[in-house]
Amino acid sequence: MVRGDSGFATPGVYDSCESKKSHYVIRLKNNRRLGQIAEKSVLYGDNQKWEEREVQYFSTTYQAQSWSQSRRVCIRSTREAGELLFRHEFIVTNLSENVSPDTIFSLYAKRGTMENFIKEAKAGFYFDKTDSPRFLENHVRMMLSLIAYNLVNFLRTIGFEEVQKGMTIHSIRLKFLKVAGKLVQTGRRVYLKLSSYHVYQNEFYRVFARLRRASQWI
């Protein structure tokens, strides 16, 4: 599935996806023709509840001048509470009519989720730290960031409770990684003693217990 904003709304992208039999949902910029189609599609009733927000979905066939063929375009028309006019959004897709327009927009919305993942990789793992003049050094830094990012996500998957899985890397570092401790060596063993004053120790040990239980499957 290829998801993209209007910057990717070019015939070359559509043709490439279609030749590879890949599905796509790509945002289209509003234009006069699309706006007219949307306005004609909007339904107004005699018992319109103007004080409530209203969303309508439609699907149509559309061909821009630069396109080699017509394609399916889904429309979402939104009227905010108290407003008279609808605001229209458009997505071009090669998914069949069996997939409803509201589902198309839900699929497109996941693009924002992916952008949040990228943002966390950059802000929390310095994924974008590529200030070396040498390509190989930048490549190694990026790979190290990816390894760290995947390790933390693996930790989320097997060690965190559902309410914790949405935590950012900054919160994870604060609660589970930045824990004061000291190494104590005896005749046969080396111990890591953690501070009993750690504010989040109850959460820490619950995660630790889940990791120990999961270790037999790793």
pLDDT-derived band at 218 (thresholds 50, 70, 90) equals: low
Q: How far apart are alpha carbons 53 and 82 in whole angstroms?
A: 8
Q: How many Cα atoms sit within 13 Å of 144 on the Cβ side?
A: 10
Q: Residues 85, 52: one domain?
A: yes
* pLDDT at 187 exceeding the cut of 90: no
Q: Residues 28, 66: one domain?
A: yes
Q: Residues 19, 100: one domain?
A: yes
Q: Residues 102, 199: one domain?
A: no
Instruction: Specify the pTM.
Output: 0.59
Q: Which domain holds residue 122?
A: 115-162
Q: Residues 98, 58: one domain?
A: yes
- Amino acid identity for residue 164 in this structure: Q
Q: Which of 130, 145, 162 lies at the terminal end of a domain, its last residue?
A: 162
Q: Residues 141, 59: one domain?
A: no
pLDDT-derived band at 101 (thresholds 50, 70, 90) equals: very high
Compute the mean pLDDT over every residue in the chain, rounded to the nearest whole number: 90
Q: Residues 85, 135: one domain?
A: no
Dihedral of the alpha carbons of 21, 25, 26, 32, in degrees to the nearest 10: 110
Q: Residues 136, 92: one domain?
A: no
Cβ atoms of 122 and 128 closer than 8 Å: yes
Domain count, the chain: 3
Q: Residues 126, 109: one domain?
A: no
Q: Residues 46, 64: one domain?
A: yes
Q: Residues 156, 194: one domain?
A: no
Q: Residues 95, 128: one domain?
A: no
